[in-house]
Homo-oligomer: A and B are copies of this chain.
Amino acid sequence: MLCVILGGRGFLGRHVGKAMAAAGYEVWSVDSAPGAPDDGLPWAAGEVACAYEDVASWLLLCGVPDVIVHLASFTVPAVASANPVEDSEVNLIGTLKLLMGLRQLSKQPRVIFASSGGAVYGRPLVVPLTEAHPTMPLGAYGVTKLAIEHHLRAESQLTGLPYRVLRISNPYGEWQRPHGVQGVIAVFAHRALQRQPVEVWGDGSVVRDFLYAGDVGTAFVAAAAHRGDATTFNIGGGVGISVNEILRTLESLLGHRVDRRMQPARPFDPQVNVLDISLARSQLGWAPEIAFEEGVGRSLQWLRGVE
């Protein structure tokens, strides 16, 4: 069974590629970023450096896959809101070109799309959020993710394309860069390692849903093999974790205090945002396996190695 990972060189791509290879797939990476000579993908049977939507080019090299893991994404929420035209061009139009490329095939692969459990629902009306919660994204990033979900369903109804959507919460783990605008755990861990203070908005009681990236990998493995009518699954940690709990976990692992620099609470931040993962548990037979302290420990270990 052949699996192509679009965005295989990214943070999540490396975890999902490893998990798919461990599950027995021959796994190829397609990524517009060519890898450095010393940065191989140990799980990859092969790599193609090209745009993910350039289907004809990568099909020629990998062959027709059974499963496409679609992790290619070129914006984060702040960038998407600042420039929604570019966000839609690279993420939405690119995905539609991908789907048009797949229309040419006699047997369509299963497309598994990484959507965002933090962005497609908008402000939670109830927590934990089930997949049936209204989808009212607050920014362009979530609008694009949601539009891609809808296009996959429409394409499936029109052409029979098999697909699954995973609405992932906040992933963290090895290969998450600490210098971006996303990834609070990587940012905090990096600063704590450097003995620098971290910025906390409000009193640190805000609760979010965090998931170790290796557990995201096993969710894709489960979605690749899923038989059943459900197509869209929340993939989260199953419990909420506050900003203060992140800091206590880091302090416990590091054995020293992490300085906080308190900032005023941001009124647009919902107090609690946690995904209900019952459907993934029952339908995919999937659950997160790595405890929070273990996952944060692995992040710290990886950051120590690259810094």
- Show the binding face of A for B, using Cβ within 8 Å: 81, 83-85, 88-89, 92-93, 96-97, 99-100, 134-140, 142-144, 146-147, 150-151, 153-155, 157-158
A139 to B154: give the CA distance in the assembly, Å. Answer: 5
Closest Cβ of chain B to A79, distance in Å, is 13
Partner of A147, one of B99, B143, B155, B158: B143
Listed A/B pairs (21) with beta-carbon separation below 8 Å: A81-B154, A83-B100, A84-B99, A84-B100, A84-B154, A85-B93, A85-B97, A85-B100, A88-B96, A89-B93, A134-B134, A135-B135, A136-B153, A138-B154, A139-B157, A140-B151, A140-B154, A143-B147, A143-B150, A143-B154, A146-B150
Residue of B nearest to A99 (CB): B84
Instruction: Specify the main secondary structure of chain A where it touches its partner.
Output: helix
A136 to B134: give the CA distance in the assembly, Å. Answer: 11
Find chain B residues with CB under 8 A from A84 CB. 96, 99-100, 151, 154-155
Contact A137-B150, Cβ < 8 Å, known A84-B100, A92-B88, A96-B85? yes
A273 to B93: give the CA distance in the assembly, Å. Answer: 31
Residue of B nearest to A147 (CB): B147
CB of B158 within 8 A of CB of A81, answer yes
Find chain B residues with CB under 8 A from A154 CB. 81, 84, 137-140, 142-143
CB of A93 within 8 A of CB of B99, answer no
Find chain B residues with CB under 8 A from A158 CB. 81, 139
CB of A88 within 8 A of CB of B93, answer yes
Residue of B nearest to A85 (CB): B96
Find chain B residues with CB under 8 A from A139 CB. 154, 157-158
Residue of B nearest to A158 (CB): B81
Given contacts A89-B93, A143-B150, 7 further A-B contacts (CB under 8 A): A85-B97, A88-B96, A92-B147, A136-B153, A139-B157, A140-B151, A143-B147
A150 to B142: give the CA distance in the assembly, Å. Answer: 9
